[in-house]
Structure 1
Amino acid sequence: YVHRSNCHPGPNTVQNILQQSFWIISVRGVIRRRLHRCIPCFRASPRSPQPFMGNLPRARLDHVKAFNKTGVDFAGPFNVKAALIRKLRVTKAYLCVFVCMSTTAVHLELASDLSTPTFMA
């Protein structure tokens, strides 16, 4: 009755309204059970649908040694200071990111350019 007559408030508000007049032992659990059955409150706050997780690649499911199957990507360019004897020379460098498909471990390498010979070295 208190819940409907006060425009369907939450459990804390219903508890405060009741405790102004009555002292009920373990009232919080009783209120939560009653509010859980309230159909107008259920309709007013529907749950949003959660998307299903996609299927994992086969390499993520197999238990193999680390970096047996890898993913590769480049990041950059970054300006790197190469220290010579007297001068600082700024060169362009790239970061090669290796990701293990089974453990998602990450290994980083520095590459001077994006060419195939530099990647293979």
Structure 2
Amino acid sequence: MSSLSTRFWIEAAREEIQDWENECSYCKRAKSKSAIQIMAPLPDIRLDMPMRAFAHTAVDYAGPYITIQGCGKRREKRYLCLFTCLTSRAVHLEMAYGLDTSSFLNAFYRFTSRRGVTVKMNSDNGTNFVGIKGTFEETRY
């Protein structure tokens, strides 16, 4: 604007230049500022480094999914039980037949028989996860 005003007088030059800068893609890129990401602090369970995967695990449910059984005649609701390793972010999927505690326990037993017993489990405190709290305190692995 200063070099332009030495030779010419344009009324409302500042507004015209700002309008041009908003339309020009090169000017937008030249004036853009890099974004700074603010990351939340990691929980302590994510900072421990165990020797095997799924030693520290998070669990959650997804669904319902409608499945077709047999020759395409029976439609059943099924739920996805998602186990996530907190250190390596590996994922293990199990099918649960319902949202009750016994269905989760069956999925959990299938998970532990394949991946081993977990040291720490993290969940969102769903009712099916809270219902098994007494079960784990009674049985020590």
TM-score strictly above 0.5: yes
Matched pairs, number: 84
Q: Which residue number corresponds to residue 61 of structure 1?
A: 47
Deviations, residues 10-57 of structure 1 (Å, cap 9, x unaligned): 9xxxxxxxxxxxxxxxxxxxxxxxxxxxxxxxxxx4747634211111
Return the TM-score normalized by structure 2: 0.50
Q: Is the radius of gyration larger for structure 1 or structure 2? A: 1
The structure with higher relative contact order (CA 8 Å, sep 6+) is: 2
2: distance between equivalents of 1:66 and 1:116?
25
Compare the two structures and name the one with the higher helix fraction.
2
Residue correspondence of structure 1 range 82-93 to structure 2 within 5 A: 82-83=69-70, 88-93=73-78
Q: Which amino acid aligns with 1:106?
A: V
1:69 CA displacement: 1.0
Q: The residue matched to 1:54 in structure 2 has which SS?
A: coil
Identity level (%): 39
Q: Distance in 2 between matches of 1:91 and 1:49?
A: 47
Name stretches of at least 5 consecutive residues in structure 1 with no aligned partner.
Answer: 11-44
